[in-house]
Amino acid sequence: MAQPSSCAQSSNGVADESPNMLVYRKMEDIIARMQDEKNGIPIRTVKSFLSKIPSVFSGSDIVQWMQKNLNIEDQVEALHLGTLMAAHGYFFPISDHVLTLKEDGTFYRFQTPYFWPSNCWEPENTDYAVYLCKRTMQNKARLELADLCAESLARLQRAFARKWEFIFMQAEAQAKVDKKRDKIERKILDSQERAFWDVHRPVPGCVNTTEADIKKSSRMKQPHKTRKSVYGLQNDIRSHSPTHTVTPEVKEPTEDELHDQIQHCQEQLDRHRLKMSKVAESLLSFAEQYLEYDPFFTTPEPSNPWISDDVTSWELEACKEAGQQRVKRWAFCFDEVMKDPVGREQFLKFLESEFSSENLRFWLAVQELKKRPIREVPTRVQEIWEEFLAPGAPSAINVDSRSYDKTTQNIKDPGRYAFQDAQEHIYKLMKSDSYSRFIRSSAYQELLQAKKKVQPQNRPRHTHASLC
Amino acid sequence: MACQGLAKGETTNTLKAESESLKAKLEEERAKLHDVELHQVAEKIDALGQFVMKTRRTLKGHGNKVLCMDWCRDKRRIVSSSQDGKVIVWDAYTTNKEHAVTMPCTWVMACAYAPSGCAVACGGLDNKCSVYPLSLDKNENLAAKKKSVAMHTNYLSSCSFTNSDMQILTSSGDGTCALWDVESGQLLQSFHGHSADVLSLDLAPSETGNTFVSGGCDKKANVWDMRSGQNVQSFETHESDINNVKYYPSGDAFATGSDDATCRLYDLRADREVAIYSKDSIIFGASSVDFSLSGRLLFAGYNDYTINVWDVLKGTRVAILFGHENRVSTVRVSPDGTAFCSGSWDNTLRIWA
C-alpha cells in the first residue's frame, strides 16, 4: 500500500506535466488564492438551530470573489468556472450531492487536499463499499443513506458477497477512528469524504469529471495508482499530502535523430522571412477583402439557411450562374479563378480565344492525375506526355528546358509527381501572363458588371444522389 | 568496451549541444524581424460588434461521447463518430440520420467525408483508417463494403481526404503521419519527425497546395511537403499538447488549440508565432479550432464545455457560447461558412449560426 509521498516528483516541475495535471495545478492555484487569509473568501461558522455549521462560505461569496480576482466580467462565466471547480471536487455544497455552484446563500466548503483530483485517485468499488457500509454504522439521521446510496450498497453487497466480512471490518475500523474525533472536525471530514465520492461515483445525470481522454491516459499511468486504497491507511490519513506530478517517459533522442534535428535547423536558418509588419498587413487585408463573403459578417442572399430555414441561397449557388459577387472574387488572386469551376470555365474560354488553352488543359490534366488511384498513374502519365509534351504533341505546351529535361527523366519511372516541375512552370506562366489579361478582358469585365449572364452548362444538380 | 561507450556518450552530448545552439540561433533570427505585434497593427481596424450566435440544430443519436465530425461539400451533410463505435451520417439541416455504421472498436477518434460525398473514412483505437462507400440503398449493410486503407501501430487520431476520393492523409498515436492510396491501401508517403503522438492534421487550402500541417503531444506544429515527406517548417511554443491545427483561409498561417488553455496563430512567412488567444479565466485545454471564411474569427472548443469566439487580428474574445454539457471535442465551420458544428462528450452535436 503506497503512501502518497512515494509518488515521483518531476524534476522539471511544471513543464513536463501531463495535460490533466496542468489543469488541476491551475485550479489549485485559484483555490490557494481563495483560501488566502487576507484576500481570500471569508470562511465562517454559522449558527443553526442547536448546532453550528463550521467552515463555510456562500455561493455568492465565491462568485463575487471570482469576478473581482480573476478578471471575469460576466457573472455567467464566473458561475460556469465555479461549477467546474465544484464538479472536480475542489469545493462543494454541504447539503447536496449534485456538485454545482449557485449564486445564492447556499453553503459551500473547501475540499481537503488529500482528496484533490491531482492525487489521481481511481478508487475501487471495495473502497466505495467500505464507505457506504461505514455510513450505515454512523447513527445520525442527517447521514442516513439516500435512496441512491442504499441501492449502491445493496448492489455492492451482492457483488462482494465473499469479501463482505473484510469490508465490514474495514468499515468498523474506520467508524471507530471517526468516533474519536472532535464533533466539529467530524462534521467537516464527513462532508469532505461525501464530496469525494460525489466526484468519483457521481449521481446519474451529473458529469463524471474523472473520465479521461484515452489519448492522454497512457501518460498518466503510475504503478501505485490503481492499488492506492482510500481507507487502507493509518489514522493520519487526512493530513496534507503533497500533490505529486507525473514524470512522462521522455524519449532520449538517438544520434540519427540529433543529426536530423541539426540539419533541419540549418535548413531553417537559410529561410527567407518576412517582417512582422508586412505579414500583419497581409493578414489584415485578406480578412478585409473576404469579409463580404463571410456569412458571419455579411448575410448571404437572400438569407442564411440555418437561421431562416430557407435553402434558396444554396439553390442559387448550385445553379451555376455566377453572380457579380462571385465573379468579383476571381480578381483577388489567380488561385480564386482556379478554385471556382465556373471561373476555370471562363478562363479556359478566354485562353481559347488567345490560342493558349493547352496550358490550362495541361495543368488540369496533371491535377487530375494526382487524384487517380496509383494503379492508373503510369498510363495517365503516358497519355499526358503524348498529348502535351512529346515531340509532335497535338497540344504542345512551352516549358523551359530544365523542366522539360527533368520531365523526360521522370516519365521513365512514372509517379504522381512526374510533371511537377512542368506544372509549376505553367502555373507561373498563366499567373503572370494570361491571368492579368483575363481580368482586364472585356469578357470578364462584362461578367463583372453583370451585363452578360454566364451560360450554365448542362451539369447535374448537386444533390446527394447525383454526386456519385 | 567502456571507452567506446564513453566516446558515444560524448558524441551524443556534443550533438545535443550543437542542436540546442542552432535552435537558439534560429529563435534569434526569427526575433530579428519581429518589429511589431499583430494586435498593434490591428488597432487601426474597427472592433467587432456583438454577435448573435445560437444553436440552430441539435443532433441527438449518439450513445456516447462525440469525438469527431466532418462536413460534406454539399454544405449540409455531416459525418460524426463516437466513443460507442458508431459513425453516423446526418443531413444536419433536417437533423435526419441517413446512414449509420458500427465500427468493430470503441473510441472512433477520426472521421472524414470524401470530396465526392460518396464515402466516409473513419478509425481510432483499431489503429486503422477504413473507407465506407455510402450506398443510396438505405437497407444495404455499409459494413459489408468496408475497405481498410491505413495501418498504423497506434491509434488513429485524425484523417482527411486530399482533393480526391483516392487519397487519405492520416495521423496517429504512433508519432507519424501517412498518405495512402485508397484503392490499393498502398502507403504513398510517410512523415516522420514528431517525437510523440500526432493528434491532428490539416491540408493547405491552396489549389497548388502540396503541404499540410500537423500538431502533437510533443508540443510541436510541423509543416510537411507531401511529395518529399520532408518537414519544411517547425514551431514549438506551446506548453502542452497541441490538440488541433487548422490553416488560415489564405494558407499563409495556421491556428492551434492546446491543453495549455491557449490557441495560437503561426505565420509561415514570418516563420513564427504571431498571436496568442488566452484569458486568465480559461484554464481548460482547447480541443478544437476553426476559422470563419474570412479568417477574421476563430472558433475554439474547450474542455470546460464552452466555445470561445476570438477576433483573430485583435486577439480579443468576442463571444463565449454555452450549451454543451460536457467537453467540446470538435469544432468545424461548414464549407460555405454559413455555420459551424460542434461535437461534445455530452453525446450531441450542435449547429451554430
Q: Is B296 on the interface with A (CB under 8 A)?
A: yes
Q: Give Rg (Cα) of chain A.
A: 35
Residue B63: which of B350, B351, B346, B352 has the closest Cα?
B346
Count contacts between A and B (CB, < 8 Å): 274
Mutation site for B-interface testing, chosen from A30, A215, A377 by largest number of B Cβ within 10 Å: A215
Q: Is A258 on the interface with B (CB under 8 A)?
A: yes
* Residues of chain A with C-beta less than 8 angstroms from the C-beta of B42: 280, 284
Q: Do A307 and B261 touch (CB under 8 A)?
A: no
Structural element, H or E, at residue B24: helix B2-32
**What is the band of B82 on the pLDDT scale with cuts at 50, 70, 90?**
very high
Q: Which of B74, B283, B294 sits opposite A26 (nearest CB)?
A: B283
Q: Do B26 and A70 touch (CB under 8 A)?
A: no
- Look at chain A and count its residues: 468
**In chain B, positions 329-348, which contact chain A (CB-CB < 8 Å)?**
336-339, 345
Q: What is the mean pLDDT of chain B?
A: 94
Structural element, H or E, at residue B21: helix B2-32
Determine the pLDDT at residue A15.
Answer: 44
Residue B27 CB: number of other CB atoms within 10 A? Answer: 13
Structural element, H or E, at residue A260: helix A255-269
* Residues of chain B with C-beta less than 8 angstroms from the C-beta of A19: 240-241, 259, 285
Q: Do B294 and A281 touch (CB under 8 A)?
A: no
Higher pLDDT residue, B308 or A96? B308
Q: Do A304 and B248 touch (CB under 8 A)?
A: no
Question: By 3-state DSSP, what share of chain A in percent is helix, strand and coil, each rounded to 5?
Answer: 60, 5, 35
Instruction: Check: CB of residue B349 under 8 Å from CB of residue B78.
Output: yes
Determine the pLDDT at residue A139.
Answer: 60
Minimum mean pLDDT range among A245-249, A291-295, B21-25, B130-134: A245-249
* Residues of chain B with C-beta less than 8 angstroms from the C-beta of A314: 75-76, 336
Minimum mean pLDDT range among A298-312, A344-358, A447-461, B12-26: A447-461
**What is the band of A458 on the pLDDT scale with cuts at 50, 70, 90?**
very low
Beta strands in B83-133 (DSSP E): 86-91, 96-102, 110-113, 119-123, 128-133
3-state secondary structure of B178: strand
ipTM of predicted complex: 0.94
Count the alpha carbons within 13 Å of A277 in the hemisphere toward its beta carbon. Answer: 4
Structural element, H or E, at residue A225: none
Residue B313: which of B248, B259, B222 has the closest Cα?
B248
A12, three cell numbers: 522539471
Q: Which of A296, A314, A339 sits opposite B337 (nearest CB)?
A: A296
**In chain B, positions 85-124, which contact chain A (CB-CB < 8 Å)?**
93, 107, 109, 116-118
Q: For strands B263-267 and B253-258, give the pairing.
A: antiparallel
Instruction: Check: CB of residue A118 under 8 Å from CB of residue A25.
Output: yes
d(CA B258, CA B270): 21
d(CA A458, CA A218): 55
A378-423 pLDDT, tens per residue? 999 999 999 999 999 999 999 999 999 999 999 998 899 999 999 9
User: Which amino acid makes up residue A399?
Assistant: V
Asked if the bond preceding A204 is cis, omega within 30° of 0, the reply is no
Return the DSSP state at A94.
T
**What is the band of A318 on the pLDDT scale with cuts at 50, 70, 90?**
confident
- Look at chain B and count its residues: 353
B106-129 pLDDT, tens per residue? 999 999 999 999 999 999 999 999
Residue burial A248-265, b: 16+ Cβ < 10 Å; e: rest? beeeebeeebbebbbebb
Residue A430 CB: number of other CB atoms within 10 A? Answer: 21
Q: For a pLDDT cut of 70, what percent of chain A falls above it?
A: 85
Q: CA dist B132 to A237, B140, B154, Å?
A: 55, 12, 21
B39, three cell numbers: 494586435
Residue A42: which of A28, A27, A61 has the closest Cα?
A61
State yes or no: pLDDT of A3 exceeds 70: no
**In chain B, positions 191-230, which contact chain A (CB-CB < 8 Å)?**
193, 195-197, 199, 206-208, 217, 227
**What is the band of A330 on the pLDDT scale with cuts at 50, 70, 90?**
very high
Asked if the bond preceding A117 is cis, omega within 30° of 0, the reply is no
Cα angle value A265/B196/B204 (rounded, 5°): 65
Q: Do B207 and A335 touch (CB under 8 A)?
A: yes
A201-228 pLDDT, tens per residue? 999 889 999 998 999 887 765 544 445 7
Q: Do A287 and B312 touch (CB under 8 A)?
A: yes
Q: Do A265 and B261 touch (CB under 8 A)?
A: no
Measured torsion, CA atoms of residues A215, A219, A225, A227, in degrees rounded to the nearest 10: 70
B20, three cell numbers: 540546442
Mutation site for A-interface testing, chosen from B19, B157, B183 by largest number of A Cβ within 10 Å: B19
Q: Which of B93, B267, B305 sits opposite A279 (nearest CB)?
A: B267
d(CA B78, CA B67): 13
State yes or no: pLDDT of A157 exceeds 70: yes
Determine the pLDDT at residue A108.
Answer: 96
B218-241 pLDDT, tens per residue? 999 999 999 999 999 999 999 999
Q: Do A22 and B260 touch (CB under 8 A)?
A: yes
d(CA B283, CA A64): 19
Determine the pLDDT at residue A18.
Answer: 82
Q: Give Rg (Cα) of chain B.
A: 21
